Amino acid sequence: MTRIKFRFARHAPLKHISHLDMMRLFQRALRRSGLPLVYSEGYNPHLRFNLALPLPVNVTASEEFGEVYLSETVSPDQFVSTLRAQLPESLDLKSASSEDYKAPSLPSQVVAALYRATPGREENCRAGSSQFRAALDRLMAREEILVQKTKKKKKQAYVNVRPYIIEAYFKESGNESPLELYMLLQAGSSGGVSPFFVIEQLEKELNCDCNNKAFWELHRESLYTDKDQFLQPLSEGM
Partner 1 sequence: MKVIDHKIERLLWQVQKPARYTGNEWNAWRKDHAGIKVKMVLAFPDLYEVGMSNQGLKILYESVNRRPEMLMERAFAPAADMEELMRAHNLPLFALESGKPLAEFDLVGFSLQYELSFTNVLNMLDLAGISLHASERGESEPLVVGGGPCAFNPEPLAPFFDFFLLGESEECLPELLADLDAFKQTAPDRKELLAKLSEKEGVYVPALYRPVYKEKKLKALERVDPGAPGVIKKRLVKDLDSAPYPAAPVIPYLQTIHDRAVVELFRGCGRGCRFCQAGYIFRPVRRRSREEIVKTAREQIALTGYEELSLASLSSTDYPRLDELIDELDRALAGEQVKCNLPSLRLDSYSIKLADRLHRGKRSNLTFAPEAATERLRRVIKKNISEEEIFTALGDAVDAGWQGFKLYFMIGLPTESDEDVAAIAELCHRLKQYFRRKAGRRISISVSVSTFVPKAHTPFQWEPQLPLPEVTRRQEILQQGFKKMPGVDLSWHDAETSFLEAVFARGDRRLAAVLEWAFKLGCRFDSWTEHFSMSRWRQAFREADIEPEDYAQRRFEYDDLLPWSHLDCGVDKEVFIKEHRKAFNLDADFEGEVR
Q: Given candidates 25, 147, 166, 208, which one binds partner 1 under the rule CB under 8 A?
A: 25
Q: Contact region for partner 1 (CB under 8 A) — 22-30, 109-117, 159-167, 223-231?
A: 22-30
**Identity of the residue, 44 or 229, whose beta carbon is nearer to partner 1 in the bound complex:** 44
**Identity of the residue, 83 or 112, whose beta carbon is nearer to partner 1 in the bound complex:** 83
Q: Per rule CB under 8 A, is residue 209 in the interface with partner 1?
A: no
The answer to whether residues 105 and 53 touch, using CB atoms and an 8 Å cutoff, is no
Contact residues for 238 (Cβ-Cβ < 8 A; gap 6+): 5, 7, 95, 96, 97
Cβ 211 to partner 1, closest distance in Å?
A: 15
Q: Given candidates 41, 44, 104, 176, which one binds partner 1 under the rule CB under 8 A?
A: 44
**Identity of the residue, 9 or 140, whose beta carbon is nearer to partner 1 in the bound complex:** 9
**Which run of H or of E encompasses 164?**
none
Q: Per rule CB under 8 A, is residue 43 in the interface with partner 1?
A: yes
User: Residue 121: what are its φ and ψ, rounded to 5°?
Assistant: -95, -35
The answer to whether residues 98 and 161 touch, using CB atoms and an 8 Å cutoff, is no
Cβ 234 to partner 1, closest distance in Å?
A: 25
Q: Per rule CB under 8 A, is residue 110 in the interface with partner 1?
A: no
* Sign of the alpha-carbon dihedral angle for 166, 120, 128, 171: positive
CA quadruple 209, 213, 217, 218: dihedral, nearest 10: 90
**Identity of the residue, 30 or 111, whose beta carbon is nearer to partner 1 in the bound complex:** 30
Cβ 238 to partner 1, closest distance in Å?
A: 26
The answer to whether residues 220 and 230 touch, using CB atoms and an 8 Å cutoff, is no
AA letter at 39: Y
DSSP string, 204-237: HHH--TT-PPP-EEEEEEEEEEEETTEEEETTTT
**Which run of H or of E encompasses 128?**
none
**Residues from 120 through 149 that contact partner 1 (CB under 8 A):** 120, 122
The site that binds partner 1 (CB under 8 A) totals a number of residues, namely 29
Q: Nearest-CA neighbor of 64 among 128, 7, 121?
A: 7
Q: Given candidates 133, 173, 215, 227, which one binds partner 1 under the rule CB under 8 A?
A: 215
Q: Per rule CB under 8 A, is residue 90 in the interface with partner 1?
A: yes
Q: Given candidates 21, 77, 137, 167, which one binds partner 1 under the rule CB under 8 A?
A: 21
Q: Which residues bind partner 1 (CB under 8 A)?
A: 12-14, 16-18, 20-21, 24-25, 27-32, 39, 43-45, 57-58, 86, 88-90, 120, 122, 215
